[in-house]
Amino acid sequence: RLLAGSENLANSLKTITDSQNISFLDAARSAGYAKTEDDLSSVFLKKGTYSAFVELHIEQGPILEDEGISIGIVTAIAAPA
């Protein structure tokens, strides 16, 4: 949602912290995603520059490959908000 330009999410993430009291904004800054002090809009993609997202979860890959387990490809998701 943040990449898609959700201003509401960007504003909410300014106050969210994890169990170690590190804010999302601080984590984003340290990873190079927040260009200015309080701005996450630098990660917004311009409308029309994308048609879909692919989210890869590779952490299970080596285990599945070692065990010869087939995988499925997700073609749609439910995103309740």
Q: What is the pLDDT of residues 12-57, one digit of tens each?
A: 888 889 999 998 888 888 887 766 667 787 788 888 888 877 776 7
> What residues form DSSP beta bridges with 36?
39
- Whether the pLDDT of residue 66 is over 80: the answer is yes
Which is higher by pLDDT, 25 or 80? 25
Amino acid 5 reads G
Residue 33 near residue 40, CB atoms below 8 Å: yes
Predicted structure pTM score: 0.52
pLDDT at position 35, please?
67
Q: What is the CA radius of gyration of the chain?
A: 17
Predicted pLDDT at 44: 85
Amino acid at 80: P
